[in-house]
Structure 1
Amino acid sequence: MTAKTNAGRFFEDYRVGQILTHAVPRTVSGGERALYHALYPARHALCSSDEFARSCGLPAAPVDDLAAFHVVFGKSVPDVSLNAVANLGYAQGRWLKPVWPGDTLRSESEVIGLKQNSNGRTGVVWVRTRGLNQRDETVIDYVRWVMVRKRDADAPAPETVVPQLDATIAAPDLVTFDGLDFSSYDFALAGEPHRWSDYEIGETIDHVDGVTIEEAEHMMATRLWQNTAKVHFDATNREDGKRLIYGGHVISMARALSFNGLANAQMMVGLNGGAHANPCFAGDTVRAWSEVLDKADTGAPGVGAIRLRLVATRGGEPFTLKGDDGKYLPHVLLDLDYWALMPT
C-alpha cells in the first residue's frame, strides 16, 4: 500500500530559505463579500458600496482587505500550520493592490526563521507569505510565526535563526491604491463625521459593542477561507478538548466592531505587528478597543494614514492590556498594530 494522503509538515521538515508553493488558486467573487458581511458586522462603506467607492476614485468596491488576507492565509495553512499548536503573531504586512471580484489569488511562502522550543516537542517557524493575483502581482505580503509540533521529539534541532523584523512599517512605504481620492468624501453615507484630523495620538476609543462567538459561525468562516489547521476542527488535537477559534476570525470580528468610533478608517494598508494573546473559544464574547499610535500624510488627495492598536477582549476593563509582569492579561485575545487610510 502507498500513502497518498498529506499528514502535513512537522517542525523538523522546515529549512530556512525553503520556498513553499501553496495549492489551490482561488477565484474570489461577490459571494466572499456577502459571506464576510454575514459572518462579521462589517460595514465600512468603501468595501460595501460600488457607488461609494467610485466617489472615492476607485472603479468599484474592492473585496474587504481582511477577506483578501484570509484567502491568502488559508492557502498557506496546509504547508505551514496544519500541525500547529497556535499561530503566534504577524509583522511587516502590507496590502499592495486591491483585490476585485473575479481576481484569482494564490500564495507562496519562504521560511525565514526556525527555533526549537525548550520542551523539545515543538518549535517556532517564521514565514514570509505573498498573495499574488492572476497577473502575478503581489497583492498582500506579510510575515507570521507559528508554533508547530515535532514528528519525533528526538529529531535534532535545526540551527536557530530568528529573523530581525521592523517594529513598524514606515509611513512612506504604505501604498495608497491608484486613483484613491477622499477630497469629496461623503461622511453622512460613511456613518460618522470624524476625520483624520479629529484623532489625537494617544487617544483611546471603546468600541462599546460585543459579539458572542458561535461555534457554527466560526466553523463556516474557517471553511470559507479553506483553513485546514487541525486545532480548529478536531477537538482531539487539544488537551482541553476544545476547538480553537481561528485567530483571523477574532481579527475580523474586532475590526468590524471598531466601526463604532472608527467608521472612516476605511482601508487597512499596513500590519505592523500582532499577537494572539490568549486562545478564544466558542461562547466567548468579543469586545474591542483602539488606541491611536501615530498619524501620517499620504500622497493621495484628502487621504491620511492613521496607525491604530486594536485590542480584542473577552470582558475585563477596557484599555487594560498587560499585568505588572509584562504578560498579557487573561481577558486579552488580540493585540494588533495596523495602519489604515482615512479622509483628512
Structure 2
Amino acid sequence: MAKTNPGRFFEDYSIGQTIQHAVPRTVGAGERALYHALYPARHAIYSSDAFAQACGLDAAPLDDLAAFHVVFGKTVPDVSLNAVANLGYAEGRWLKPVWPGDTLRSVSEVIGLKQNSNGRTGVVYVRTTGFNEKDEAVLTYVRWVMVRKRDADAPAPEAVVPELAKTVAVEDLVIPEGLTFDGYDYDLAGEPHRWGDYEVGEQIDHVDGVTVEEAEHMMATRLWQNTAKVHFDTSARPDGSRLIYGGHVISMARALSFNGLANAQMIVGLNAGAHANPCLSGDTIRAWTEVLDKAETSVPGVGALRLRLVATKGGAPFELRGEDGKYLPEVLLDLDYWALCPI
C-alpha cells in the first residue's frame, strides 16, 4: 500500500466535497520578522505594538497577508499540489485579526468544477476558511486553480461554475473590534493622506521596484509551507523554470504600495484577483493603484478604500490591457481589495 501522497488530480474532486487540511500552524513573532525581511512591509499598525494600541487594538496583529499565506499554504497539498496555475480569487473577508500565538488551520469546500477543452486539465473552485485555536473563523475566500488530470481519457464531470459576487459589500466588511483612528499619528504612520484625500478614479504610481530573487522566493514559499511543485521543481514546468508563488507577488506589491497608501492600514476584503502572467526569478516588480471606490464604515472615523493594485514587471504605469482586451504581457497581478483608512 502506497504511503506517499501524490496530490489530488482533477478527477479526485467532487462538488460539495469538504477537505480538512493537515498540519495546523502556530504563528508568532518569527513570522512577523521574516515577513518584514522578505518584503519592504512598513504599514505601522503591523509594525508597532504601541501604534496598534493607540488605534484601539491589544497589540500589533500579524500582517493580514501573512495570515492569508498561512491559511493558503495549508490548502496546497490538497488543492494545488498538481496545479498548473492559481487563477483567481473572490469573496475574501478578514474576519478577525491574527495574533502572535494563534494556531491556524484551514478547511476547504469544493464549489465548482470545469474541465478545460484540452481534456488534460480542469479548473477547481474552492471556498477556504481559516480558523484559529478557538475555532473562530479568521479568514474566508474563494479561489480557483487549474489542475492536471491523472488520466486524460477520464470522463469530464458536469460543469459547475459558481456565481461569485463581483465585490464584497461594504456592510459585510468586518472592522476589528476596538479599532479607532481617533488618536491616529500621521507622522508615525509615514504620510498625511486621509480617506478624504483620495478620489475615485485617482491613480497612484508607487515608484519603487524590487527584483525577485530565487532564494528569497523559495524561502517565502517554504515559510508558508506551500509545497506546490511548480515553485520548487524545475521539471514541473516545460521551460524548466520555477514559478514565483503568486502570493509573493501580492505581498511585494502591497508592500510597495506603502509609498502613496501608507494609511491604507488593514486589508479587510478581497473582491477579485488574477495572476495575469507568470513571475520568474529576475523580474523586477513595480506597482500602481487605482482608487475604485470609497465608503464610510459602521465605525466612526474609519473609512474603506476599494483599491485596484496592479503589479508589473515593466512597461508604463496605469496600462493594464491591450486592444484585444487581454492583460498586457508585463502585467503580473490585478488585485481588487478593500483597506481601512482614517477619515
The aligned runs of 1:42-53 (5 Å cut-off) are 42-53=41-52
Distance of 1:184 and 1:201 partners within structure 2: 26
Structure 2 distance, partners of 1:237, 1:106, is 28
Distance across 1 between alignment mates of 2:52 and 2:298? 18
Q: Deviations over 1:276-302 (max 9, x none)?
A: 000000000000000000000012231
CA distance in 2, matches of 1:156, 1:140: 35
Counterparts of 1:1-344 in structure 2, within 5 Å, are 2-344=1-343
Query: 2 CA distance for matches of 1:94 and 1:327?
Result: 28
Distance (whole Å) between structure 2 residues aligned to residue 64 and residue 300 of structure 1: 21
Whole-angstrom CA distance in 2 between matches of 1:238 and 1:216: 18
Cα deviation code 1:64-99 (max 9, x no counterpart): 000000000000000000000000000000000000
- Which stretch shows the higher mean deviation, 292-301 or 264-273? 292-301
Tell me, in whole angstroms, the C-alpha distance in 1 between the residues paired with 2:298 and 2:321. Answer: 36
TM-score in terms of structure 2 length: 1.00
| Whole-angstrom CA distance in 2 between matches of 1:189 and 1:301 | 22
Q: Distance in 2 between matches of 1:48 and 1:303?
A: 20
Distance 1:187 1:175 in 2: 24
- Deviations 1:35-57 (Å, cap 9, x if unpaired)? 00000000100000000000000
Tell me, in whole angstroms, the C-alpha distance in 2 between the residues paired with 1:105 and 1:39: 21
Q: Secondary structure at the match of 1:248?
A: helix
Instruction: Report how far residue 160 of structure 1 moved.
Output: 0.3
Task: Write the deviation string for residues 115-156 of structure 1: whole angstroms up to 9, x where unpaired.
Answer: 000000000000000000011110000000000000000000
Distance 2:172 2:8 in 1: 34
Contact 1:213 1:286 (8 Å CA) reproduced = yes
Task: Provide the C-alpha distance between the structure 1 equivalents of 2:155 and 2:297, rounded to a whole number of angstroms.
Answer: 49
Report sequence identity in percent.
80
Task: Kindly report the root-mean-square deviation, in angstroms, between the aligned alpha carbons of the 2 structures.
Answer: 0.4
- Deviation of 1:184 (Å): 1.1
Mapped contact 1:180–1:301 kept (Cα < 8 A): no
Which letter does structure 2 place at the counterpart of 1:325?
D
1:96 aligned partner, one-letter code: L
The letter of the residue matching 1:203 is E
What is the rounded CA distance, in whole Å, between the counterparts of 1:302 and 1:296 in structure 2?
Answer: 11
Other structure's SS at 2:278 match = coil
Alignment partners' CA distance in 2, 1:22 and 1:123:
21
> Which secondary structure does the structure 2 equivalent of 1:24 belong to?
coil
- Distance in 2 between the 1:171 and 1:294 partners? 10
> 1: distance between equivalents of 2:300 and 2:61?
19
Deviation at 1:8, TM superposition (A): 0.3
Q: Write the deviation string for residues 172-214 of structure 1: whole angstroms up to 9, x where unpaired.
A: 1101000000011000000000000000000000000000000
Supply the distance in 1 between the matched residues of 2:166 and 2:322 (Cα, whole angstroms): 22
TM-score, normalised with respect to structure 1: 0.99
SS at match of 1:23: coil
Residue-pair matches, total: 343
Return the letter of the residue paired with 1:21. Answer: Q
Q: Do the aligned partners of 1:94 and 1:140 also contact (CA within 8 Å) in 2?
A: yes
Cα-to-partner distance string for 1:291-327 (whole Å, 9 max, x where unaligned)? 0000000122311000000000001010000011110
For structure 2, which runs of at least 5 residues remain unmatched after alignment? Answer: none
* 1: CA distance, partners of 2:15 / 2:39: 37
Structure 1 residue runs without a partner (length 5+): none
Alpha-carbon separation, structure 2, partners of 1:309 and 1:216:
29
Separation (CA, whole Å) in 1 of partners of 2:262 and 2:38: 18
The 2-side partners of 1:237 and 1:102 are apart by 36
Stretches of 4+ moved more than 4 A in 1? none
